[in-house]
Structure 1
């Protein structure tokens, strides 16, 4: 079906009356792929993500905007985790083991965010 064609290839020049038949076919193929990809993404992502991302007519631009939204979310999450980790105090109410496990959990979440950023 080549649904991902519009993601893999750049948008071809807009067709005009003087366009070659091959150019028309290429543009129509790209446009169909773009339309189907947009519909698929918009129906599968959550409403919160859909509402936080601007409207786009190009699937590549939409994916780029979604990616940028998650980078911002990852930075906010990392900031929150660092604050939790640095302000965490042992109160003795839950025990040493529980306190250590909570600290290891926060450290593991920070490491996973760092690995995602490196890719």
Structure 2
């Protein structure tokens, strides 16, 4: 019976070795994810930074400890161009922020950007509408009414385009053929 247990233990240990993840590959995957993360501006910035922090804590569990300063810089690097003024402001300060301070400041900046975006969108839409109305009114006052196009079937019944008389088309018009000959243009193929 004890030999069966020893065999089972050996079998389970062997099985564990075969299915165990390599710590090095997991560290590489997590680190690549952390470094390649980019904030798109669609989600909540607090959740985004917490997700980066979670990846850093998973790396710490695998014995790769990233300092909080490094994580703060990784977050700042991953922010989109809308946050450029915010990044410059951070870089001009002498003190460094903790991760919690960074989250707080980023949330404030995100709110400020949303307000600016709403105000500029409102401004653009109202001024655009005024200009369009003004242009439409000016165009209506200055332009003569457009000529209406005739129906293609009306052209056949109206006669020759060259001399304007009824009874023949431009291809059969003697005046048109004479004009082409005078200009040195090749003649048209004869029609029946």
TM-score in same-fold range (> 0.5): no
User: Which one has a bigger Cα radius of gyration?
Assistant: 2
Greater relative contact order (CA < 8 Å, ≥ 6 in sequence): 1
TM bucket (normalised to shorter chain) is: 0.3 to 0.5
TM-score normalised according to structure 2 size: 0.28
Tell me the TM-score normalised to structure 1 length.
0.43
